[in-house]
């Protein structure tokens, strides 16, 4: 039985794109990733957030795994298993550098004991869980097959036998000044109970059992190491058996379990991140994925990075709905400055990217066309260190995008050509729209030139309008509406109670 990955389907299809840092910062994906991995800093999982899937089958493979992890108690059990495997691997690395042979062999035996126990305990968890995902079902079969293999059964039996023999060893340490001797126990009187009785009256609290944890910085001193060496000489057969066991079992630990333990934390870290946002009453969902139907529909979509930030202030984001159907491919977003347009564009990009990762997306419902590539072009400050003008840089970036884009791609444009005249902006925007039209790709375009909406039959107009209950804090809703060029003026009028309705009310 073979198992390759809980993160990648058997064909391991990964998006082969060298996405730039700008892409992740434009969409605030870098903030989402950094916050998510902060919940699992002990695992090397950051790279997995930069590996979008390229097929519907691969995305659904991951979605099903997350659905299993959302079942009561199961995620916690998986996390506990991952941490045990991580601890065992850390032991393995530390043991390699230990100096004293007997001490080193003892910790190796302890590590194998923990390893066998962790696998058997998790096997019980998997068998009792009602699993549906292909990933977990395959892993369950692999683990069950591994536990029944001749190698595992043989090593476990020998490990148990050695531990039983070691537990029977009793010895005396006789100290005389600066010297000591170690000898076999000869039924001398045990004063342990007598000492406990004498000092019982000084006890204040009940003594709790302490778990022995391996401290790589503490180790063992030379005196204790010598005592252990002498004990080995008094019991040569069992110590020789332990030595041979360690030598032949050095590569016993299956690296498949380390891979699983690391990869599964990719899901767990994101679920921990999402949980913070969901406490504020917003919803996340698994999008319905299509590779053929070019319809995109999102209900209550929002900027996940913003929602996470606001959650610490006990505030909620304003969600938005949108729909692209039939021949509609392009959303033109206009409205007042600081009206939530860029946030809306980021949210759209986030939903499409997180969908490609096979994760929950920030929306209460979503139907997504699985785009092959996502490109972004957000306005940036002019770099005086270059010899190129801002307009020239913008044109070069956009040219690069259209060289790589396909009819299945998504392009997010935000306030481009703001450094040039209105007439030039209109001319350049028309050229870009022709490119978008020809490729038939998806695009969300935030622009102050609201007439861009008239440049193609594939566009729909989205306009930012003030959320009536939040005028003072300038929280905006993005709705499907033709722009009138007066959005900001209306906002200011309402803010200062000078709108037609407000003045009419005062006159009455």
Q: What are the tens digits of pLDDT across the range 97-123? A: 888 999 999 999 999 999 999 999 999
Lowest mean pLDDT among 231-235, 249-253, 350-354, 389-393: 389-393
pLDDT band at 19 (very low <50, low <70, confident <90, very high): low
- Round the average pLDDT of the chain to a whole number and report it: 87
pLDDT digit string (tens) for 216-258? 545 688 888 899 999 999 999 999 999 999 999 888 899 999 9
If asked whether residues 355 and 230 sit together in one domain, one would say: no
- Answer whether residue 148 is part of any domain: yes
pLDDT above 70 covers what percent of the chain? 88
Q: Is the pLDDT of residue 204 over 80?
A: no
Segments forming the whole domain that contains residue 123 = 55-174+182-187+215-278
If asked whether residues 308 and 356 sit together in one domain, one would say: yes
**Looking at residue 449, which CATH number applies to its domain?**
3.40.50.300
Tell me how many domains the chain contains: 2
So what's the pLDDT on residue 494?
Answer: 67
Domain boundary (278, 305, 329) is at 278
pLDDT above 90 covers what percent of the chain? 61
So what's the pLDDT on residue 42?
Answer: 92
Domain boundary (259, 278, 297) is at 278
If asked whether residues 361 and 227 sit together in one domain, one would say: no
- Answer whether residue 19 is part of any domain: no
The three-state secondary structure class of 38 is: helix
pTM assigned to the model: 0.85
- Answer whether residue 198 is part of any domain: no
Selected residue with higher pLDDT from 448 and 304: 304
Say how far apart CA 59 and CA 222 lie, in whole Å: 56
Lowest mean pLDDT among 47-51, 194-198, 330-334, 466-470: 466-470
Which two tokens mark 61?
A: 């493979």
Residue ranges with strand state E in 268-372? 288-290, 296-301, 320-324, 330-334, 365-369
Q: Is the pLDDT of residue 206 over 90?
A: no
Stated length of the chain: 508
If asked whether residues 265 and 302 sit together in one domain, one would say: no
If asked whether residues 239 and 330 sit together in one domain, one would say: no
pLDDT band at 304 (very low <50, low <70, confident <90, very high): very high
Domain boundary (246, 278, 310) is at 278
In Å, how far are 182, 226, 235, 334, 461 from 238, measured between CA atoms?
A: 17, 17, 6, 80, 80
Q: Helix 150-167 to helix 101-128 angle, to the nearest 10 degrees? A: 130
If asked whether residues 501 and 426 sit together in one domain, one would say: yes
């Amino acid at each position: 039985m073979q198992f390759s990955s809980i993160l990648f389907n058997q064909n391991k299809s990964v998006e082969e794109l060298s996405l730039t840092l700008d892409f992740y910062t434009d969409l605030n994906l870098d903030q989402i990733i950094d916050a998510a991995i902060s919940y699992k800093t002990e695992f090397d999982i950051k790279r997995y957030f930069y590996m979008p899937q390229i097929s519907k089958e691969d995305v659904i493979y991951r979605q099903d795994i997350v659905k299993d992890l959302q079942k009561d108690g199961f995620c916690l059990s998986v996390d506990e298993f991952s941490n045990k495997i991580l601890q065992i691997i850390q032991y393995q690395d530390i043991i390699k550098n230990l100096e004293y042979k007997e001490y080193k062999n003892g910790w190796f035996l302890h590590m194998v004991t923990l390893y066998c126990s962790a696998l058997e305990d998790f096997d019980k968890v998997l068998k009792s869980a009602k699993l549906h995902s292909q990933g977990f079902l395959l892993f369950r079969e692999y683990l069950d097959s591994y536990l029944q293999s001749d190698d595992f059964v043989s090593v476990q039996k020998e490990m148990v036998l050695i531990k039983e023999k070691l537990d029977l060893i009793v010895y005396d340490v006789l100290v005389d000044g600066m010297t000591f001797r170690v000898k076999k126990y000869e039924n001398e009187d045990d004063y342990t109970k007598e000492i406990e009785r004498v000092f019982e009256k000084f006890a204040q609290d009940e003594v709790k059992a302490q778990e022995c944890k391996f401290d790589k910085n503490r180790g063992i001193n030379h005196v204790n190491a010598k005592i252990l060496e002498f004990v080995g000489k008094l019991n040569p057969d069992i110590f020789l058996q332990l030595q041979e066991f360690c030598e032949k079992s050095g590569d016993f630990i299956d690296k498949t379990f380390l891979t699983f333990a690391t990869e599964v934390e990719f899901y767990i870290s994101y679920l921990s991140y999402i949980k913070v946002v969901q406490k504020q009453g917003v919803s996340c969902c698994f999008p319905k994925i299509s590779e053929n139907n070019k319809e995109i529909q999102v209900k209550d979509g929002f900027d996940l990075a913003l929602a996470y930030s606001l959650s610490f202030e006990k505030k909620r984001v304003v969600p938005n709905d949108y729909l692209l159907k039939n021949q509609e491919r392009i959303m033109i977003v206009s409205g007042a400055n600081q009206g939530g347009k860029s946030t809306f564009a980021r949210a759209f990009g986030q939903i499409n990217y997180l969908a490609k990762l096979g994760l929950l997306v920030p929306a209460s419902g979503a139907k997504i066309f699985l785009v092959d590539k996502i490109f972004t072009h957000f306005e940036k400050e002019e770099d005086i260190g270059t010899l190129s003008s801002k307009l020239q840089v913008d044109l070069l970036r956009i040219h690069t995008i259209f060289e790589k884009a396909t009819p299945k791609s998504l392009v997010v444009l935000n306030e481009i050509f703001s450094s040039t005249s209105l007439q030039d902006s209109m001319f350049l925007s028309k050229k870009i729209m022709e490119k978008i039209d020809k490729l038939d790709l998806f695009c969300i375009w935030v622009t102050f030139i609201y007439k861009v909406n008239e440049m193609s039959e594939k566009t729909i107009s989205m306009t930012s309008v003030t959320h009536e209950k939040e005028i003072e804090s300038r929280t905006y809703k993005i709705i499907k509406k033709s722009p009138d060029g007066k959005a900001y003026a209306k906002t200011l009028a309402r803010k200062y109670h000078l709108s037609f309705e407000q003045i009419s009310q005062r006159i009455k």
